[in-house]
Amino acid sequence: MKILRILLLPLVVGMLVLSGCSSTGTKDGMEGGAGSGMGSESGTSTSAAGGAGKWTGSPLDDPNSPLYEKVIYFDFDTAEIRPEYVDTLRAHAEYLVNTPDARLVIEGHCDERGSREYNIALGERRANSVKRFLEAEGVSPVQLDTVSYGEERPVNPGHNEAAWAQNRRAELVYQ
Amino acid sequence: MKKLFVLLALLFVFSQAQARLVIEITEGVEGALPIAVVPFKWNGDPARPPSQDIGRIVAADLQRSGYFKTLPENQMLAQPSTMAEVDFRDWRALKQENLVIGSIEANGPGGYKLRFQLFDVYQESQLIGYNFTTTEKDLRAIAHHIADLVYETLTGTRGAFATRIAYVVSEGTVASPRVSLRIADSDGYNAQTIVSSTEPLMSPAWSPDGRKLAYVSFENGRPSIWIQEVFTGKREKITSFKGINGAPAWSPDGRYLAMALSRDGNPDIYVMDLARRKLRRLVRHWAIETEPSWSPDGRKLLFTSDRGGSPQIYQIAATGGNVQRLTFENKYNARASYAPDGKSITLITRVGSQYRIGVMDLATGSITVLTDGKLDESPSFAPNGSMIIYATRHGGKGVLAAVSTDGRVKQRLALQSGDVRDPVWSPYYK
């Protein structure tokens, strides 16, 4: 099983390149009231786009920056980072390395299937998987923290495959 | 069994603004014991009857258990309240095997005196008879106690009607949820919120004396385990380690709290001595270990681990040592807990792509699937082992349901607003 996946991986990456990479929608600002990361503290500053359409604020808020992507999605019952998110995570790693004051909380989330506490554990595994990736890219562990919400905070309240796919995620929440 | 689907759709909607549980029996048993529960007679000022209809509460409890089929009041030929008024031929003509009668009278300000008798209709003899003195606020509790006495006399098993359930309700929207931890009587009445939050609340666990609840709260954005006294509301934060603080479970003697913590890297099972606040790691492994649950004798614990590649149920002695895998059937088994007699466990088991409630006989290791939902979870035995309460989905929202341990009787306890989940049945009060 494991071997198969490894063999298939280059193929999957290749297909993604051909299809021009996937976009996972604009997620920013959707979690209003969820109580995390909405404020801007050390390391990030936000401002609106200038009149000329040129971005003058933090690259984290620039829709044209790879840093704008702050959610990555997972397959069912796994914490493996899909190849299409490697570029996004590398961009965040680079930003964090270059911005030592920046602090990131990685939230792990699951779909609703199965046991709630097991999903808390699975969500943590997803958050840690992202954390390890960033550390491997040179980010200081001091800048990173994780929290798992399991299935307790879905973004899509539906009960179907599409909703579940949106809920199996890690969110990068800059503090 | 599905063909029995019809029947017994009894609804009792009640007035409490907050709770509004509707209980319907979705599947029942043929061959349930016919019993007539006559409305209890009020021997007082007709203009000021007691707030609760005792006979109806008793009848509803018995009906809900699935082991009894109660006679509708409009089919009764008479409504006796004393043995002298009972003509057993009436009840035999209605094919009733047992009869419950009773009366209630005032006993000082706010007080009541209650009397009830249970008869064997064919023997024409009294099986049990009791007098109670009580107050307005305990009338429902007395009614459940009467139902327990009738149930035990006729089935030989202690009743569990005078117990409670704890559960979590989520209201509001995805963006701004309101989560409450509630407790209610076993019939869903008297629901009270004991804590509410804009952050997740989960995994309530009753102390063995039924007086405290441990639970997980994400207030401040991080999970912590809290213990709250049910009757006073007084609460205390027990753990707030880095990472997961989850799945609290009381030892049967109430001295220890097992839990899942990931403070040392990944979730393992720990046991806290509550008096000394001393923590001991019971299970240590690189995989996920969570959802500990004590055996009734306190000697063993179950837990969920994915060390074998998928979540399965394992067992370990409370003193530590070797870990034994218990489940081999089905690819996903989680959230297990022991039956009160310790001979079986209930768990979530995946059948195809559906998550259902099962019971595994510990002697044979075989799993019997009891439910037919897609996303059933959080099974918990009634303290007499007769039923299992669990969370399921119905009409697009989370509801509570109960199934008899043999799978024959199912009932739904549907909160009318919000998403209901994480139910856990209380122990007997001590």
Q: Compare B418 and B420 and report the one with higher pLDDT.
A: B420
Chain A: give the shortest CA distance to residue B164, in Å.
22
Architecture per CATH, domain A73-167, reads as: 2-Layer Sandwich (3.30)
Same domain, B78 and B179: no
Amino acid A119: pLDDT: 97
Q: Is B372 part of a structural domain of the chain?
A: yes
Q: Is B20 part of a structural domain of the chain?
A: no
DSSP helix/strand/coil, A105: strand
The percent of residues in chain B predicted with pLDDT above 90, rounded, is 78
Q: Compare B348 and B25 and report the one with higher pLDDT.
A: B348
Angle separating helix axes B54-65 and B139-155, nearest 10 degrees: 40
Q: Which of B174, B304, B375 sits opposite A157 (nearest CB)?
A: B174
DSSP B138: G
Give the domain-ending residue among B124, B155, B186: B155
Nearest residue of B to residue A161, measured between CA atoms: B353
Same domain, B231 and B372: yes
Give the domain-ending residue among B138, B155, B172: B155
Chain A: give the shortest CA distance to residue B216, in Å.
10
Reported confidence tier of residue B397, pLDDT bands at 50, 70, 90:
confident
Chain A interface mutation, best of B290, B306, B307, B314, highest count of A Cβ atoms under 10 Å: B290
Residues 85-104, chain A, touching B (beta carbon < 8 A):
none
Amino acid A56: pLDDT: 67
Q: Quote the CA–CA distance of A172 and A153 in Å, as a whole number.
A: 15
With CB atoms and an 8 Å threshold, state whether B260 touches A112.
no
- How does pLDDT run across B154-202, given as a tens digit for each residue? 999 999 999 999 999 999 888 889 999 999 988 888 889 999 999 999 9
Same domain, B182 and B71: no
Q: Does A120 touch chain B (CB under 8 A)?
A: yes
C-beta neighbour count of A4 within 10 angstroms: 8
Query: Measuring CA to CA, how many Å separate B245 from each of A72, B239, B265, B280?
Result: 25, 7, 12, 14
Reported confidence tier of residue A23, pLDDT bands at 50, 70, 90:
very low
Amino acid A14: pLDDT: 36
Amino acid A90: pLDDT: 97
With CB atoms and an 8 Å threshold, state whether A118 touches B311.
yes
Contact B347/B379 with Cβ under 8 angstroms?
yes
Q: Compare B48 and A33 and report the one with higher pLDDT.
A: B48
Pairs across A and B, CB distance < 8 A: 102
- Mean pLDDT along residues B38-43: 96
Amino acid B182: pLDDT: 95
Q: Does A125 touch chain B (CB under 8 A)?
A: yes
Amino acid B186: pLDDT: 87
CA angle A95, A97, A102 (to 5 degrees): 70
List chain B residues with CB under 8 Å of A156.
174
Q: Which of A32, A147, A150 sits opposite B175 (nearest CB)?
A: A32
Amino acid B220: pLDDT: 87
Same domain, B139 and B222: no
Q: Is B200 part of a structural domain of the chain?
A: yes
- How does pLDDT run across A103-138, given as a tens digit for each residue? 999 999 999 999 999 999 999 999 999 999 999 999
Same domain, B315 and B394: yes
Tell me which residue has tokens 């069994």. B1
List chain B residues with CB under 8 Å of A146.
243
Same domain, B272 and B380: yes
DSSP helix/strand/coil, B360: strand
Same domain, B86 and B226: no
List chain A residues with CB under 8 Å of B377.
114-116
Q: Which helix (H) or strand (E) holds B90?
A: helix B88-93
Reported confidence tier of residue B19, pLDDT bands at 50, 70, 90:
very low
Q: Quote the CA–CA distance of B310 and B323 in Å, as a whole number.
A: 16
Reported confidence tier of residue B25, pLDDT bands at 50, 70, 90:
low
List chain B residues with CB under 8 Å of A34.
175
Same domain, B117 and B232: no
Residue type, B236: E
Amino acid A63: pLDDT: 86
Chain B: give the shortest CA distance to residue A17, in Å.
31
Q: Is B91 part of a structural domain of the chain?
A: yes
Chain A interface mutation, best of B219, B244, B378, highest count of A Cβ atoms under 10 Å: B244
Domain count of the fold of chain B? 2
Q: Which domain holds residue B335?
A: 164-425
- How does pLDDT run across B189-215, given as a tens digit for each residue? 888 999 999 999 999 999 999 999 999
Contact B248/B231 with Cβ under 8 angstroms?
no
The percent of residues in chain B predicted with pLDDT above 70, rounded, is 92
* Predicted complex ipTM exceeds 0.85: yes
Q: Compare B143 and B22 and report the one with higher pLDDT.
A: B143
Q: Is B25 part of a structural domain of the chain?
A: no
Amino acid A168: pLDDT: 97
List chain A residues with CB under 8 Å of B334.
114-115, 118
- Mean pLDDT along residues B341-356: 97
With CB atoms and an 8 Å threshold, state whether B175 touches A30.
yes
Same domain, B113 and B262: no
For A129, the token pair is 């998987």
Same domain, B121 and B175: no
Amino acid B56: pLDDT: 93
| CATH assignment at residue B315 | 2.120.10.30
Q: Quote the CA–CA distance of B249 and B228 in Å, as a whole number.
A: 14
CA-based nearest residue to B98, from B86, B106, B115, B114: B86
List chain B residues with CB under 8 Å of A35.
198-199, 221
With CB atoms and an 8 Å threshold, state whether A148 touches B244.
yes
Nearest residue of B to residue A151, measured between CA atoms: B200
Q: A128-132, B15-19, B52-56: which range is least confident on average?
A: B15-19
The percent of residues in chain A predicted with pLDDT above 70, rounded, is 68
Q: Is the pLDDT of residue B9 over 60?
A: no
Same domain, B136 and B193: no
Give the domain-ending residue among B107, B127, B155: B155
- Mean pLDDT along residues A87-111: 97
What's the mean pLDDT when you consider all of chain B? Answer: 90
With CB atoms and an 8 Å threshold, state whether B174 touches A154.
yes
Reported confidence tier of residue B29, pLDDT bands at 50, 70, 90:
low
Reported confidence tier of residue B366, pLDDT bands at 50, 70, 90:
very high
Q: Does A122 touch chain B (CB under 8 A)?
A: yes
Q: Is the pLDDT of residue A1 over 50?
A: no
Amino acid A18: pLDDT: 34
Q: Is B17 part of a structural domain of the chain?
A: no
List chain B residues with CB under 8 Å of A31.
175
With CB atoms and an 8 Å threshold, state whether A120 touches B332.
no
Query: Measuring CA to CA, how many Å separate A6 from each of A134, A168, B55?
Result: 21, 22, 67
Same domain, B288 and B146: no
With CB atoms and an 8 Å threshold, state whether B243 touches A124.
yes
Q: Is the pLDDT of residue B321 over 70?
A: yes
Q: Is B208 part of a structural domain of the chain?
A: yes
List chain A residues with CB under 8 Å of B422.
116
Q: Is the pLDDT of residue B408 over 90?
A: no
